[in-house]
Amino acid sequence: MDSATSDPRIPLGASADNGLKIVVVGGFGVGKTTMVRSVSEIRPLNTEETMTQAGAAVDDNSEVRGKSATTVAFDFGRISLDAHNVLYLFGAPGQERFWFLWDRLFSGTLGAVVLVDTRRIDDSWYAIDRLEHHGTPFIVACNDFGGPRHSPDAVREALDLDPRVPLVECDARSRESSKQVLIALVEHLRGHYAAQAARPRRELV
């Protein structure tokens, strides 16, 4: 899945007629902005603001002490799959006070990546719940923060994942690793929507 262009000054070609919307969701500080930045072929749009002491009572940053800025609306990036297909990437804000934005971000979404910090599994439940509520297919990507390793079965059990949901590992800082996550998502979506199309339609009587 090599991108068609890496120069942000080159506009999207007229032949790219399939824009596919993908959302990257997950808890606060799991690496959503980092993933969009690492993989985007254009200079990504970020709505980050500096974290201040005033927000300490609202956002629990005890597990992400090195974090100095946070997304307050969404991140946006783009990567071309080929001459005709482009992924538009939207990174959702992770704090609970911005969750009201998620339902709007999910509108028109083809699929999603749930980014997980295995040190804070509980932070991932809301993202999975909302995607399941919307019927949006997704995969789960465990971002490597250098902590203890967990077996895939242990992560699946902790997240109560459907067996059909792919689970992958990644390093959101790495462009190649983030691309592999998107490849896994696209392959999952291909199978998901092909299965939907193969189901017999019910006749209305």
Of 23-32, 37-46, 60-69, which has the strongest mean pLDDT?
23-32
Find all residues with CB under 8 Å of 79, minimum gap 6, and list them.
Answer: 1, 3, 39, 40, 41, 86, 87, 89, 179, 182
pLDDT band at 47 (very low <50, low <70, confident <90, very high): low
**Of the candidates 49, 25, 5, 32, the residue with the CA atom closest to the CA atom of residue 173:** 32
Beta strand 69-71 with 48-50: parallel, antiparallel or unpaired?
Answer: antiparallel
The whole-number average pLDDT for the span 19-36 is 90
Exposure of 165 in the CB half-sphere (CA atoms within 13 A): 24
Beta strand 18-26 with 85-91: parallel, antiparallel or unpaired?
Answer: parallel
- How high is the pLDDT of residue 178? 95
- How high is the pLDDT of residue 98? 60
The whole-number average pLDDT for the span 91-115 is 77
- For 126, the token pair is 């809301």
The whole-number average pLDDT for the span 189-196 is 91
- Is 56's pLDDT higher than 50? no
SS3 20: strand
The answer to whether 146 and 169 are in contact (CB under 8 A) is no
For 107-158, how does the pLDDT look when each residue is reduced to its tens digit (9 = 90+)? 788 999 999 999 889 888 888 988 898 899 999 999 988 877 889 999 999 9
Helices 32-39 & 175-198 angle (0-180, nearest 10): 100
Amino acid (1-letter code) at residue 72:
V
Average model confidence (pLDDT) for the chain? 79
- How high is the pLDDT of residue 160? 94
- Is 1's pLDDT higher than 60? no
The torsion region of residue 181 among left (phi > 0), alpha (psi -120 to 50) and beta comes to: alpha
Give the predicted TM-score (pTM) of the model: 0.76
Backbone φ and ψ for 120, nearest 5 degrees, come out as -135, 60
